[in-house]
Structure 1
């Protein structure tokens, strides 16, 4: 068994098909199929269920995925440990919640300073991203903080104000809370938790909760009068400035939100992640030098 076999296996597992993995890795499909069959032969077990919609992991396949995540992550760590500290290189996978509005600036500055690093970005909700960092599927992630976990190290990033976002014609935040559906991200989202906490404090049972996958869709739906949401003030700024939505302050115990950058406490702090953290810290202090 070679590292490349595990990389192919990971790709098939995440893409859900041999064809998808072949496209991602720039391999021919027959090669991917042959490597998966050889891996199954070596391990004496079937790793995938084959069906008309593609391939899904068997219980044994899920077990191997956990091992392969750790093995590949350790390999990346080993490579990073021998890099020139001033010129990091390699692949870095970062997770983020949807509303980190300084993220484009961070990524742009990091890319221009360290062009040999290939950055990949994954979006999700806080709870999922925390687990992905713990399980070494991500090198780090921006999540709603604080995160108190023995396997997590957190670095302060930003603190923002949350606002209740409503249709532009709304006049009373409490009326909106009582009468409008909540438009939220999936379970595990920090903003959703804050909104639910506020409702509980007010003794309000929501009319309905409607889950969405993107911030743009949530704000567009609020503008259309479908419901209300709670997001960082910066996230709603453009819609508010265009007169598409209204935004209201919320109680202080609800209205402050911290975004932190997390990494695994068990992992070696690579040069590439150390430099990424330095860019985050510079951004939070607004001391980034111009890009040029």
Structure 2
């Protein structure tokens, strides 16, 4: 069994089709097919169920994928350890929730200092980003603080206040309770906080509408589609311009920490170490509000 076979198996599992995996890896489809067949013969078990729309992992394939991800992650870590230099270099994959207002400051500062690092950013909700870090898909991520996970190290970034925002036609909490709630998908820390407020006050929102980007949510609020719960720093400029109105909830629901997480047992490369240093240095820097 070769590492390349495991990489191909992992890619087919992720993409669900031979053609998509071949495109991603720049291989011909016949090569991908023969590698998978070779792996199945070596392990003496089918790893995929083939169907008209692609390929789905068998129970044995799902078990192999868990080990495959660990093996490939350790292999990548091994290369980083052996090749580690004083000057950060190589790939750094970071995740973030969409509302980290200090993110441009951190990324810009890091990129200017360490030009040999290929820095990439993935956005998502807290729950999914935490899973991506735990499963070695990301080197680290900016998330909203939740219950500490034993396999993660947490670095504080900043604390902020969440506010309910609506268009200017809404002035009372009774009106707010009747408005649709505009939010990210399940797993978002801000959504969880407002849902806790709803539950504690026996409120059932008229409608919950999920969106993929912060810009779309804010634009929809401005147009009167519903309300949302976001950091005050995100809404402040919109409020100053008279586009939205802020409504404040008790500290139990509104105070929230943004943290940077990484795996506890992963080797701390100079690339990631310098990124964490940059986060620490940014604490005294002002955040840049979202332009809208």
What TM-score do the two structures reach when normalised by structure 2?
0.89
Task: Indicate whether 1:225 and 2:224 are aligned.
Answer: yes
**Alignment match, 1:65:** 65
Return closer, same or farther for 1:237/1:7 CA change in 2, 3 Å cut-off.
Answer: farther
Distance in structure 1 (CA, Å) of the matches to 2:218 and 2:102: 18
Shift of 1:238: 5.2
Unaligned runs of 5+ in 1: 288-292
**Alignment match, 1:87:** 87
Shift of 1:241: 5.0
Aligned Cα RMSD in Å? 2.2
Task: Indicate whether 1:177 and 2:176 are aligned.
Answer: yes
Distance in structure 2 (CA, Å) of the matches to 1:54 and 1:285: 51
State whether residues 125 and 184 of structure 2, in contact with CA within 8 Å, keep that contact through their aligned partners in structure 1. Answer: yes
Secondary structure at 2:61 match in 1: helix
**Alignment match, 2:140:** 140
**Alignment match, 1:290:** none
1:275-286 superposed matches below 5 A: 275-286=274-285
Task: Indicate whether 1:105 and 2:89 are aligned.
Answer: no
1:1-292 superposed matches below 5 A: 1-172=1-172, 174-237=173-236, 239-286=238-285
Bigger shift: residues 177-186 or 236-245: 236-245
CA distances 1:171-216 after superposition (whole Å, capped 9, x unpaired): 12x1243211111222221101110122233332222222222222
Shift of 1:113: 2.3
Distance in structure 1 (CA, Å) of the matches to 2:175 and 2:152: 38
Distance in structure 2 (CA, Å) of the matches to 1:188 and 1:129: 9
Secondary structure at 1:213 match in 2: coil
Return closer, same or farther for 1:250/1:82 CA change in 2, 3 Å cut-off.
Answer: same
Distance in structure 2 (CA, Å) of the matches to 1:239 and 1:13: 43
Distance in structure 2 (CA, Å) of the matches to 1:142 and 1:204: 30
Distance in structure 1 (CA, Å) of the matches to 2:56 and 2:121: 23
Secondary structure at 1:250 match in 2: coil
Shift of 1:104: 2.8
State whether residues 168 and 246 of structure 1, in contact with CA within 8 Å, keep that contact through their aligned partners in structure 2. Answer: yes
What TM-score do the two structures reach when normalised by structure 1?
0.89
How many corresponding residue pairs? 286
State whether residues 48 and 61 of structure 2, in contact with CA within 8 Å, keep that contact through their aligned partners in structure 1. Answer: yes
CA distances 1:211-264 after superposition (whole Å, capped 9, x unpaired): 222222222222222211101123334544554332223222222111101111
State whether residues 84 and 269 of structure 2, in contact with CA within 8 Å, keep that contact through their aligned partners in structure 1. Answer: no
Secondary structure at 1:175 match in 2: helix
State whether residues 170 and 176 of structure 2, in contact with CA within 8 Å, keep that contact through their aligned partners in structure 1. Answer: no
Return closer, same or farther for 1:72/1:120 CA change in 2, 3 Å cut-off.
Answer: farther
Shift of 1:159: 1.4
Distance in structure 2 (CA, Å) of the matches to 1:238 and 1:92: 32
Unaligned runs of 5+ in 2: 287-292
CA distances 1:118-148 after superposition (whole Å, capped 9, x unpaired): 2332222212222222222222111111441
Shift of 1:19: 2.3
Distance in structure 2 (CA, Å) of the matches to 1:87 and 1:233: 37
Shift of 1:21: 2.1
Return closer, same or farther for 1:155/1:59 CA change in 2, 3 Å cut-off.
Answer: same
Shift of 1:281: 1.2
State whether residues 81 and 271 of structure 1, in contact with CA within 8 Å, keep that contact through their aligned partners in structure 2. Answer: no
Secondary structure at 1:141 match in 2: strand
State whether residues 165 and 227 of structure 2, in contact with CA within 8 Å, keep that contact through their aligned partners in structure 1. Answer: yes
